[in-house]
Amino acid sequence: MPSDNGTFGEHVTIPQESDDRLAPPATVVIFGASGDLTRRKLIPAIESLARHNRLTGQFAVVGVARTPMDDDQFVHAVLGDRGLSGMPQLAGAVRYIAGGYDDPETYKRLATVLDELDRDRGTAGNRIFYLSTPAEAFPLVINGLAGAGLHQAREDAFARLVIEKPYGHDEGSAKQLDATVHAAFDESQVFRIDHYLGKDTVQNVLALRFANAIFQPIWDRTWVDHVQITVAETLGVGTRGSFYEHAGAMRDIVQNHVLQVLALALMEPPASFSAEAVRNEKVKLLQAIRLPSGRAIDDIAVRGQYTRGGSRSELMAGYREEPGVDPLSRTETYAALRLDVDNWRWAGVPFYVRTGKRLPSRVTEVALQFQRPPHLPIPNRQLTELQPDALILRIQPDEGIALRFGAKVPGHSFRVRSASMDFSYDKTFREESPEAYERLLLDALIGDTTLFIRSDEVEQCWRIVDPILERWAEDTGPIPTYEAASWGPTEANRLIERSGRAWRNTVSRA
């Protein structure tokens, strides 16, 4: 029942997860262990799993990187002064190996350490190899593991490969990387990670759609006018300018995060919630997206690059002024697309997606705007700020769901305006939501591939964005610009306004 303040539900305490969410004995080997991701995300995820008793005593961590360090220095580098105080069960179980990724000796030393941990810690020969290196090192590590025979698990054990994005620079390089991966590892051993899929609120898209009978009948072209997916960031590229020059908004966000969220929101109901059933439906949806081609791309795709903007008290640098960025750069920091899905459920419904840096708000959301009533018997003068009905799924921040609808304004006259009912994760559930990497790392240990990306999913995502990237590379005209702290280039507004629609730029309310 709605509460008096217009929110859904009351505080709910859910039961503890069953013991099948307990990691088996294993060693997690992190390549690129001296990097920022290990310190900020991976080690804290392991700490949290240990704190929530999701790890057994037969667990170990091995860091591998080029930086010279010993075991104690590595622990201090990733955990600081607190050391292993939060994970006493891992005392003596955190090891470090310094060496080049192209040096066979690195993998010989790794094999020796893994055997020691199997003997001393009881890790049972189970290994997770986590590639947190720059993408150019992926083939080196994979070939090194294969050369040392570490890609093959012994009987009754597993060897799994977790690969961070970017998975290729385009479809061709993704296929080349796949060939390298599959020369050593079977597809069932490969876990391509997109941390967005580890967020509870992304997974809640599935719960909303398939655990509630009231939504399924209206989740199609008959009721939905259009869908908007927004991934907006207030930050610029910061110190990542050199990386971003080779990525851009399309490769960095659209090819993975945006298309993964879109697939979950639009796919057909799976026959079951098994990993392959869910991933099969995602691939079918991606295959149904109409491929852009030629000059028609100019009508459905817009890019932009932020320039200096903000206020006198907080003037923000333009992209070309950021460290590591070419002063004449043509890299896009903003991308907006109209996508069409050619299947029975969504034929004729436009899907507008956008992402950008230096936008006014940090927000990730999916908004389904419904058709207007075919006839309104209420005179226009009595319709006060009445907007079309909408269902908004807020992925971050302020995670939750809002339903917008028309309601009578209190008073003697009959006036109608938009109101909303709101569900907030923080206000409804007392349980702590796990960080994305915590959930995904546990899934990899358990062997659950549901939230990881399959080889054919990667290929389909590149198939969609490659023609647009090629068209932009051919275009020698000026790249559209937008001031920092604005909602993007005017060309993006024209993209959606051609059909009489508008972007949702008020993101704090439905």
What are the residue numbers of the active site?
257
Whether the link from the prior residue into 397 is cis, omega within 30° of 0, is: yes
Angle at 437 between CA 137 and CA 154, to 5 degrees: 65
Do the Cβ atoms of 422 and 6 come closer than 8 Å?
Answer: yes
Residue whose tokens read 């999701």? 54
Phi-psi region of 210 (alpha: psi -120 to 50; beta: other; left: phi over 0): alpha
- CA–CA separation, 482 and 355 (whole Å): 13
**DSSP 8-state code for residue 174:** H
Residue whose tokens read 């640098």? 317
Alpha helices in 375-454 (DSSP H): 425-428, 436-446
- CA–CA separation, 255 and 353 (whole Å): 11
Number of helices followed by number of strands (H, E) in the chain: 16, 17
The answer for residues whose C-beta is within 8 angstroms of residue 337's C-beta and 6 or more apart is: 254, 300, 301, 302, 352, 353, 354, 468
β pairing state of 350-356 and 363-370: unpaired
Containing H/E element for 60?
strand 59-65
The answer for residues whose C-beta is within 8 angstroms of residue 175's C-beta and 6 or more apart is: 168, 459
